[in-house]
Structure 1
Amino acid sequence: MPETAENQAKEQPRRRQARGERRIAQLLEAAASVFCTTGYTAASTNAIAREAGVSPGTLYQFFPNKEAIAIELGDRLMHEMRDAYGEALAPVDPATPLEEAVRAAVDRFIAFNCDHPVFFTLMHGPDIPGRIAEEHDALHVTLLTRIEGLLSSLLPDVSPADLSRTARMSLGIYKAGLELILAHEGAEREAYVQELKNALVRYLEPLTGGRSGHGGAPLGNTP
């Protein structure tokens, strides 16, 4: 059945919107590649347009400058990160072995960061836009709260002050390990992932009364 003039008029804005969303996604993907390669500070809108295969004029139809691109990319990544830690840091059954809880959380976070290496670049770069820094600070606070919630399932007898300190230390260990993990690939990356899990379990195990489930031996690579 042929489209009426009214239906065509309604469909055109939707098509334009869909094309615009695809173009924005294309530009953000290109920006992620450029930021990872050169860092945020050295990146330029010309380099991002070139990576996306469009003219700078096309880029400026959607973003006024590099900062606006980084903010949009950062907002989307932080939304995904919140979903990731919402799943990874849910409270667990207190009977869950420490090794299992650590493995599940670390694997989820590492998968996110390996799928989106630009997240680390933007969040830890020396000259990121102020709004991203503010959003990241808020994300950090919420993340610590969720880590405390997970740890409270495993460490029910620890005081709130000690729990907060343990959560901060655990996150610090994770961040240090993450930088090494992202700097390597293949088997060496997997080895560093395992070392990170080992470090976290060995740090947390004394607080749980030694119920990690591996008897103090190095963690294996079993799922």
Structure 2
Amino acid sequence: MSEKPEMSEEPKPRRRQARGERRITQLLQAAANVFCANGYTAASTNAIAREAHVSPGTLYQYFPNKEAIAVELGGRLMHEMREAHGQAFTPENLALPLPDLLDAVVDPLIEFNCANPVFLALMHGSEIPGRIAEEHDALHASLIERVRVLIAHYLPDSPPEECVRIADMAFAVFKGGLALVLAAPEGPERDATVDELKLVLLRYLDPVIGGTHHARDGLTTSRNH
């Protein structure tokens, strides 16, 4: 009696996986909208399901609760934020004149925050999951450290505490300006606010780092058309 040929293992249901990933993306985008509108604490899975135009039962097939949605969304956002850091702080940028350096560093960070307003809404909200808070704190510390390394590069003979103080002040100015940028209407007003933020940073850093000029014409943003 001849043996039956072995059945080959069925390929993974990639089409089903693709549909599942699209559904997850849909739910995360809906969650981002709800978190931006209502904040994390006031948001609910029912509101997220409504925003995504799915039933609560469908949402629960992918996420057990609101915290799980926030953790997944926060993780993806912080991955994208790290990529923005990578674009900003490169060895090549250190060779640029200060106005160009500010363009290279500030633009990717602003573009990320403008494209993802939920980042600040989620990361700075009350009662966010502890895992998100820990990852955000680590990301924040990493960004400040990159700024400190950048300042120390330009001031190799300065005491470390002076470099830290200058870097922390520049970072605080950026954070304050970022809030104004996000509050400005998209378009010419936002572009002008970005330029004003760069001008403030330039006027603070130029006397410290030296070798550059104070000129609005030296400041450009990638959004100018």
Same fold (TM over 0.5): yes
Unaligned runs of 5+ in 1: none
Q: Where does residue 88 of structure 1 map in the other structure?
A: 88
Q: Where does residue 148 of structure 2 map in the other structure?
A: 148
**1:195 lines up with 2:202 in the alignment:** no
**1:167 lines up with 2:167 in the alignment:** yes
Q: 1:6 to 1:110 in 2, by over 3 A?
A: same
Q: 1:146 to 1:86 in 2, by over 3 A?
A: same
Q: Percent identity?
A: 60
**1:206 lines up with 2:207 in the alignment:** yes
Partner AA of 1:85 in structure 2 = H
Deviation at 1:157? 3.0
Partner AA of 2:69 in structure 1 = I
Q: 1:189 to 1:84 in 2, by over 3 A?
A: same
2:27–2:52 contact (8 Å) kept in structure 1:
yes
Root-mean-square deviation over aligned CA pairs? 2.0
Distance 2:92 2:12 in 1: 48
Distance 1:18 1:93 in 2: 38
Q: Where does residue 101 of structure 2 map in the other structure?
A: 101
Per mean C-alpha deviation after superposition, the further-off stretch among 69-78 and 146-155 is 146-155
1:91–1:153 contact (8 Å) kept in structure 2:
no
Deviation at 1:113? 0.8
Distance 2:74 2:58 in 1: 21
1:173–1:200 contact (8 Å) kept in structure 2:
yes
Per mean C-alpha deviation after superposition, the further-off stretch among 100-109 and 123-132 is 123-132
Deviation at 1:50? 0.9
Deviation at 1:158? 2.7
**1:110 lines up with 2:110 in the alignment:** yes
Unaligned runs of 5+ in 2: 1-6
Distance 1:132 1:192 in 2: 30
Q: Where does residue 30 of structure 1 map in the other structure?
A: 30
Aligned length: 215
Partner AA of 1:188 in structure 2 = E
2:148–2:163 contact (8 Å) kept in structure 1:
yes
Distance 1:221 1:101 in 2: 10
Instruction: For 1:47-86, list aligned pairs within 5 A.
Output: 47-86=47-86
How far does the alpha carbon of each residue in 1:72-125 deviate from its partner, in whole angstroms, 9 at most, with x for none? Answer: 100011011111101201234655211111121111111111111111111122
How does the TM-score come out when normalised to structure 2? 0.87
2:67–2:129 contact (8 Å) kept in structure 1:
yes
2:174–2:197 contact (8 Å) kept in structure 1:
yes
How far does the alpha carbon of each residue in 1:22-48 deviate from its partner, in whole angstroms, 9 at most, with x for none? Answer: 111111011111111121122111111
1:34–1:51 contact (8 Å) kept in structure 2:
yes
**Secondary structure, counterpart of 1:40 in structure 2:** coil
Q: 1:62 to 1:95 in 2, by over 3 A?
A: closer
